[in-house]
């Protein structure tokens, strides 16, 4: 069968599975809509968390970034992995014990302020929309290539699918759909990786194949370094970013991860705090399978690509290049008119432009794998993008229906009307997300990096200090969030949209790129929060007692013996 036929078959089966699960697990109450009724098993929640975590950025874009950036791409790998560990160990158990299933809910109650809740709602919506734009862009890329439709049409199809099961099932439907999506995406990611590792190095384990030798006995990475330096590129295993920028990007991704509202809410879907810890452990294992494979896929893809296209005539371009040209994500410009394609670093001489986001999806085609494997990767990319998009849309709808309406402006709203409001908000959010997917502010991982930076600068300090500082008050939390978010957003907007020509290392503050500025925003947030809380009245005694109770387990000290 053709790639198109296989894609329709495999994607059709997976979509039917997702919709079937949504119908089976549709939410009948606000508790089921918001936290799946709180009855999900730790194993299922671990798989759902992993699917929620591994977005289009993880599946589609991360290995593509590593493929083109080499060593520099490791910041995404380190930041996102470290961030999950930080979230699972430092935040999730305490937030679960506090009993609030949205970040604005935690902020509003911990800081005894409706204003603090409103600021947190704005931050949550802003971060979630920035993040979901990347997911919808990923959906559009997959559909445009494998179903041979325009990216815009692909985004609209994705909007309809995710709207159906997010609005119908809420968190209950999303959770069990994400279990299925994790199975699809990890199978789709590993199968081509194992195939290609065997073909190139003879080792079926991609992580070991990365350090293996190619046919002539040369280590793969050494061979790749040589191929790239011949074309004028930096060696694959060398970094070009400054140490401070690497640190700030990694830290922004890491602490931004820990403040992401759609992942935090997953720890409220299990019955007990103990189950939250178990599900965090399961999720880490499930996430590690993909994250430890990504560097191998990146290196394999770049190696095969260079062997496939270097100095070929335009008439001999491989079929995969022709396929991707139709999506406008690969472009060829024979500048010197010699009929051969020069792929070099020098932009004046380079005749081939490749979008970073296509590498994982194109990898099976480049390696001439069977058509069913190519279609499977398409289904995996869609599963990754849709699973995270659904979680983010739920955060947006929850922030509006629960935190804005129920907890702020309409406290007497009935559960039925709150559920309707949540579904209407999710529908509106899908439309806005689709617009940003069609008109994205950057490639997928870059857009997601901005979302993480905004989360780092706004949420992380108020959550950490809310848990671990009894002296932290509402004035400090509100001004810290506002200053952190505004500073980070202004920096990103200036260098990426207002004056992109100035987006050069020599113009950045302290050499920090827009992708890493969230760390500086977070530091500002901490400083402002700490300073203001010291010069304003302390929180009421009941809030201080609440913080003490969150941090210290019940019964602690009960067995102490006085001597």
Which of 512, 462, 522 lies closest to 492 in space, CA to CA?
Answer: 512
Hey, what's the torsion of the CAs at 17, 23, 25, 31, to 10 degrees? 130
CB 47 within 8 A of CB 178: yes
pLDDT of residue 479: 93
Query: Between 240 and 196, whose confidence is greater?
Result: 196
Q: Is the pLDDT of residue 113 over 60?
A: yes
Residue 7 lies in a domain: yes
The four Cα atoms 430, 257, 51, 261 give a dihedral, to 10 degrees, of -50
- Asked, for residue 282, whether it belongs to a domain, the answer is yes
114 pLDDT above the threshold of 70: yes
Which position has the higher pLDDT, 48 or 128?
48
Query: According to the model, what pLDDT value does residue 431 have?
Result: 83
**Residue 125, phi then psi, degrees to nearest 5:** -65, -45
Could you tell me if residue 559 is inside a domain?
Answer: no
Q: What integer best gives the mean pLDDT of the chain? A: 81
pTM of the complete model: 0.80
Q: Which residue has the higher pLDDT, 129 or 473?
A: 473
Contacts 24+ apart (CB under 8 A), 446-449: 446/515, 447/130, 447/131, 447/133, 447/134, 447/137, 448/55, 448/56, 448/57, 448/61, 448/131, 448/134, 449/76, 449/249, 449/252, 449/253, 449/515
Residue 302: pLDDT over 50? yes
Please name the residues in contact with 321: beta carbons below 8 A apart, sequence gap of 6 or more. Answer: 309, 330, 332
Instruction: Tell whether 563 is covered by a domain.
Output: no
Looking up residue 141, the CATH number of its domain turns out to be 1.20.1730.10
Measure Cα distances from 348 to 219, 333, 342, 343, 351 in Å: 32, 11, 11, 11, 8
Q: Tell whether 560 is covered by a domain.
A: no
With a CB cutoff of 8 Å and minimum separation 6, the contacts of 540 are 112
Tally of domains in the chain: 1
Let me know if residue 398 belongs to a domain.
yes
Q: Is residue 194 part of a domain?
A: yes
Q: Binning pLDDT at 50, 70 and 90, where does residue 260 land?
A: low
Return the half-sphere exposure (C-beta side, CA atoms, 13 A cut-off) of residue 220: 27
Domain range for 448: 3-30+44-302+367-551
Can you spell out the DSSP letters for 439-475?
S-SS-HHHHHHHHHHHHHHHHHHHHHHHHH-TT--HH
Evaluate whether 71 touches 40 at the Cβ level (below 8 Å): no
| 384: in domain | yes
Inform me whether the pLDDT recorded for 468 exceeds 50: yes
């Amino acid at each position: 069968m053709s790639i198109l036929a296989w894609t329709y078959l495999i994607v059709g089966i997976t979509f039917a599975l997702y919709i079937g699960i949504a119908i089976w697990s549709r939410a009948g109450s606000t508790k089921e809509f918001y936290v799946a009724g709180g009855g999900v098993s730790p194993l299922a929640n671990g798989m759902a968390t992993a699917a929620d975590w591994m977005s289009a950025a993880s599946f589609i874009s991360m290995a593509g970034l590593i493929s083109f950036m080499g060593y520099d791409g490791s910041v995404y790998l380190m930041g996102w992995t470290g961030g999950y560990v930080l979230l699972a160990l430092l935040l999730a158990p305490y937030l679960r014990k506090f009993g609030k299933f949205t970040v604005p809910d935690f902020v509003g109650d911990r800081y005894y302020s409706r204003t603090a809740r409103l600021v947190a709602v704005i931050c949550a919506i802003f971060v979630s929309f920035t993040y979901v734009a990347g997911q919808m862009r990923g959906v559009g890329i997959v559909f445009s290539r494998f179903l041979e439709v325009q990216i815009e049409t692909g985004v609209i199809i994705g909007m309809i699918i995710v709207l159906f099961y997010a609005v119908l099932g809420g968190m209950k439907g999303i959770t069990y759909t994400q279990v299925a999506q994790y199975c699809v995406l990890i199978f789709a990611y590993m199968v081509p990786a194992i195939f290609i590792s065997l073909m190139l190095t003879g080792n079926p384990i991609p992580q070991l194949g990365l350090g293996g030798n190619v046919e002539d006995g040369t280590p793969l990475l050494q061979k790749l370094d040589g191929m790239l330096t011949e074309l004028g590129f930096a060696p694959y295993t060398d970094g070009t970013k400054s140490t401070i920028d690497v640190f700030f990007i990694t830290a922004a991704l890491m602490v931004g991860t820990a403040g992401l509202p759609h992942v935090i809410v997953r720890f409220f879907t299990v019955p007990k705090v103990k189950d939250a810890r178990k599900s965090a452990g399961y999720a880490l294992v499930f996430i590690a399978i993909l994250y430890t494979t990504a560097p191998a896929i990146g290196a394999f893809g770049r190696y095969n690509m260079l062997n496939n296209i270097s100095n070929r005539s335009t008439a001999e371009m491989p079929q995969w290049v022709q396929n991707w040209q139709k999506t406008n994500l690969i472009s060829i410009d024979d500048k010197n008119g010699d009929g051969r394609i020069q792929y070099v670093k020098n932009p004046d001489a380079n005749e081939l432009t490749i979008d970073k986001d296509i590498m994982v999806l194109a990898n099976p085609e480049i390696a001439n794998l069977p058509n069913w494997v190519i279609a499977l990767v398409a289904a995996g990319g869609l599963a990754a993008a849709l699973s995270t998009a659904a979680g983010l849309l739920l955060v947006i709808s929850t922030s509006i229906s629960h935190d804005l309406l129920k907890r702020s402006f309409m406290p007497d709203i009935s559960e039925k009307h709150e559920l309707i409001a949540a579904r209407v908000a999710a529908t509106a959010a899908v439309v806005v997300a689709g617009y940003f997917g069609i008109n994205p502010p950057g490639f997928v991982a870059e857009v997601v990096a901005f979302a993480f930076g905004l989360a780092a600068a706004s949420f992380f300090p108020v959550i950490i200090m809310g848990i671990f500082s009894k002296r932290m008050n509402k004035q400090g939390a509100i001004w810290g969030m506002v200053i952190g978010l505004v500073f980070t957003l202004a920096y990103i907007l200036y260098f990426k949209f207002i004056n992109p020509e100035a987006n050069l290392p020599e113009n950045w503050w302290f050499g920090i790129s827009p992708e890493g500025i969230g760390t500086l925003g977070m530091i500002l947030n901490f400083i402002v929060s700490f300073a203001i809380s010291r010069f304003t009245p302390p929180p009421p005694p009941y809030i201080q007692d609440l913080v003490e109770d969150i941090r210290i387990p019940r019964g602690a000290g009960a067995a102490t013996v006085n001597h």
